[in-house]
Amino acid sequence: MSPAALGKKDVLITGGKIAAIENTIDVSIRGFDVDVIDGSEHFLLPGFVDSLVHITGGGGEGGFTTRTPEMNLTDATKAGITTLVGALGTDATTRSLPDLLAKAKALNEQGLSCYCYTGSYQIPVRTLTSSVMDDIILINEFIGVGEVAISDHRSSQPTLNELAKIAAEARVGGMLSGKSGIVSIHTGDGRGLLDILHQVANETDIPITQFYPTHINRSRKLLEAGATFAQAGGYIDLTTSTTKHALATGEVKSSQGLKYLLDNDVPINRITFSSDGHASLPDFDDNGRLLQLLVGDESSLFQEVKDAVVEQNIDLEEAIKVITSNPADILGLKQKGRLAPGNDADCVLVSRENLEIETVISNGRIMVRDGDAVIKGQFES
């Protein structure tokens, strides 16, 4: 699937790229050592693109002991994620952009394609070079800015002008470096919902597509506001990591949110899922007492796509777009999100029977084979 269904094909991978996709490819050429993977009982999907992961950990909102750990390589690879974007979270004091960048470089060395957002929840946003624009232009891994928080008691309560200025810097930084310069927006459960983004789009020259608000399934009200935002031309992102308590108190499961949006005529190319992996996820009992602190789970990304297919009856070739071609397009990653000759060889082989992830290839390297991680992070056992 490209993500559109291509039928039964052979795929040739060489030098980290997809060299050819043909009905049959003869690999019996003398002198070449070719590893053949039989996918006749499988679907071959583009490697998953996760547009928001707290790769260095997040949280800390219950004190220092509640800071979540950094992610491991296999947290991504076993979940089929071959491209991801790291971000700081609520805490941009004890978490830093140099640390984020170093972790992204490590994941890249280990075979993934990892990018980052410069900036932070709070305004003035943190930067490496003292400018959002310069960070995006000069530092390869930085493709945008975020998560900048709005409608949240933890945000800096940004004004229209403050938000427009950040978006303008990111936009021009992106233009000058051939990147998206996207502005990832953390949306809280505050009263303003997405209003300030509409205001920037209506009252300045910044287009609505510069913004990429996430956590849109946090509540039914925000989901409805998200539908309006997407109908106005904007992109919206649903968060797949959740808890039973969150779902019981108003959060909408991503797969159900996707169904709602499609039923309300939101074009699918404006919708994405991200895992919010390694964010802290407080879990409460029925009386609102903190039970435990969980960690955002990267494997929820594809699980919600599976649920969209199995429980919501959305076609796999449609549902899969929200974690492949759609985020790749929004993030400006031209080599990602589609199986096509010349693109990076990122693919996920899933069982045709139950959609279990079996084999994951990232930049032409087999990371997971038959469900087992064959490449592990430096300190993973």
CB-nearer residue toward Zn ion: 255 or 280? 280
CB-nearer residue toward Zn ion: 59 or 181? 59
Residue 281 parent element (H or E): strand 280-284
CB-nearer residue toward Zn ion: 105 or 245? 245
**CB of residue 147 to Zn ion, shortest distance in Å:** 5
186 binds Zn ion (CB under 5 A): yes
Closest Cα partner for 56 from 80, 88, 78?
88
Amino acid of residue 59? G
**CB of residue 184 to Zn ion, shortest distance in Å:** 9
Q: Which stretch binds Zn ion (CB under 5 A): 17-25, 102-110, 184-192, 330-338?
A: 184-192
CB-nearer residue toward Zn ion: 75 or 147? 147
Q: Which positions from 123 to 152 touch Zn ion by CB under 5 A, shown as an x/- string?
A: ------------------------x-----
54 binds Zn ion (CB under 5 A): no
Q: Which stretch binds Zn ion (CB under 5 A): 131-139, 179-187, 319-327, 330-338?
A: 179-187
**CB of residue 296 to Zn ion, shortest distance in Å:** 10
Q: Which residue of the set 91, 135, 152, 276 is catalytic?
A: 276
Cα(122)–Cα(157) distance, integer angstroms: 9
CB-nearer residue toward Zn ion: 320 or 323? 323
User: What's the burial of 8, exposed, middle or buried (CB within 10 Å: 0-12/13-18/19+)?
Assistant: exposed
CB-nearer residue toward Zn ion: 182 or 368? 182
| Burial profile 59-78: b = 16 or more Cβ within 10 angstroms, e = fewer | bbeeeeeebbebbbbbbbbb
Amino acid of residue 223? L
Q: Which stretch binds Zn ion (CB under 5 A): 77-85, 185-193, 331-339, 352-360?
A: 185-193
State the residue number with the nearest CB to Zn ion. 186
**CB of residue 321 to Zn ion, shortest distance in Å:** 23
Cis peptide before 213 (omega within 30 of 0): no
Look up 263 and say whether it is catalytic.
Answer: no
Q: How far is CA 73 from the centre of its chain?
A: 15
CA distances from residue 373 to 72, 136, 222, 228 in whole angstroms, order as listed: 12, 33, 38, 41
**CB of residue 214 to Zn ion, shortest distance in Å:** 6
Q: Which stretch binds Zn ion (CB under 5 A): 181-189, 192-200, 352-360, 369-377?
A: 181-189
Return the residues of window 70-99 that contact Zn ion according to CB under 5 A: none
**164, 199 Cβ separation under 8 angstroms:** no
- The angle subtended at Cα 314 by Cα 253 and Cα 185, nearest 5°, is 45
Rg, Å, the chain Cα set:
20
Cα(107)–Cα(314) distance, integer angstroms: 33
Residue 316 parent element (H or E): helix 316-319
Residue 203 parent element (H or E): helix 195-203
**CB of residue 87 to Zn ion, shortest distance in Å:** 8
218 binds Zn ion (CB under 5 A): no
Total residues at the site for Zn ion (CB under 5 A)? 2
**47, 329 Cβ separation under 8 angstroms:** no
Binding site for Zn ion (CB under 5 A): 147, 186
Q: Which active-site residues does the annotation give? A: 276
